[in-house]
A and B are shown apart, each in its own frame.
Chain A
Amino acid sequence: DAGITQSPRHKVTETGTPVTLRCHQTENHRYMYWYRQDPGHGLRLIHYSYGVKDTDKGEVSDGYSVSRSKTEDFLLTLESATSSQTSVYFCAISNLGKNTEAFFGQGTRLTVV
């Protein structure tokens, strides 16, 4: 298995609270991604990073921020969680620029009540 771990794996939080999800890789891959997966939708890109301190928005970035202070870690923050952010979040890593495989974490199930 590719060395990519997400934490926490499950979280229940209240509306309005801040939440941070962590993605950690040991593969030294340049690109890291955060996706959310919801019924009836394919995986949708929230934010991605193409290097330390280099990030960009995806198609569903509103309400989310990210940070990448070192190659290994990519953090996703919900500044003030809302019920619409209840979802399963996946982190992925790749060197897509070289047409290589993408590797995914096990996912984080987040419930906002």
Chain B
Amino acid sequence: KNEVEQSPQNLTAQEGEFITINCSYSVGISALHWLQQHPGGGIVSLFMLSSGKKKHGRLIATINIQEKHSSLHITASHPRDSAVYICAVPVYNTDKLIFGTGTRLQVFP
């Protein structure tokens, strides 16, 4: 069993839809990262959070440390949101990140 699991693996949506991507982890963590990777592109950090909720534009990330679960929400999705979204956690008391396999999102006009 992977220490970080994301669901769904693939997601398609129509422009304007509300999107939710989930991340569950089995290790103790101090924080969780959400990353975005566009096709053929580099990886960009969207959020790092250790509790509660963070919002940046149309993106919202939440985390429940007790349940070891985080969600990334995209409101009013747009085709430019099409990308792979990756969840990553640093193993507690180490400097290493463990990554989920990513969720591939396609938003159609």
- The interface of chain A, by Cβ under 8 A from chain B, is 31, 33, 35, 40-45, 48, 50, 58, 90, 92, 94, 96-97, 99-107
Cβ–Cβ < 8 Å partners of B86 in chain A: 42-43
Stretch of B13-21, B44-52, B57-65, B75-83 at the chain-chain interface? B44-52
Q: Is the beta-carbon distance between A42 and B102 smaller than 8 angstroms? A: yes
Cβ–Cβ < 8 Å partners of B97 in chain A: 33, 43, 45, 92, 96, 102
Q: Which residue of B lies closest to A99 (CB)?
A: B31
- The interface of chain B, by Cβ under 8 A from chain A, is 2, 4, 30-31, 33, 35, 41-45, 48, 50, 86, 88, 90, 95-102
Q: Kindly identify which residue among A41, A50, A104 contacts B43, using a CB–CB cutoff of 8 Å.
A: A104
Tell me whether A102 and B33 are in contact in the complex, defined as CB-CB below 8 angstroms, given that A41-B101, A42-B99 are known contacts. Answer: yes
Cβ–Cβ < 8 Å partners of B99 in chain A: 35, 42-44
Q: Kindly identify which residue among B88, B98, B100, B101 contacts A40, using a CB–CB cutoff of 8 Å.
A: B101
Q: Is the beta-carbon distance between A106 and B42 smaller than 8 angstroms? A: yes
Q: CA–CA, A94 to B42, complex, Å? A: 16
Q: CA–CA, A74 to B68, complex, Å? A: 33
Q: Which residue of A lies closest to B90 (CB)?
A: A96
Q: Is the beta-carbon distance between B96 and A103 smaller than 8 angstroms? A: no
Name the 8 nearest CB pairs between A and B, nearest first.
A42-B99, A104-B43, A106-B42, A43-B99, A42-B101, A101-B45, A96-B95, A99-B31
Q: List 10 A-B contacts (CB under 8 A).
A: A41-B101, A42-B4, A42-B100, A90-B43, A96-B90, A99-B48, A101-B45, A103-B45, A104-B42, A105-B42
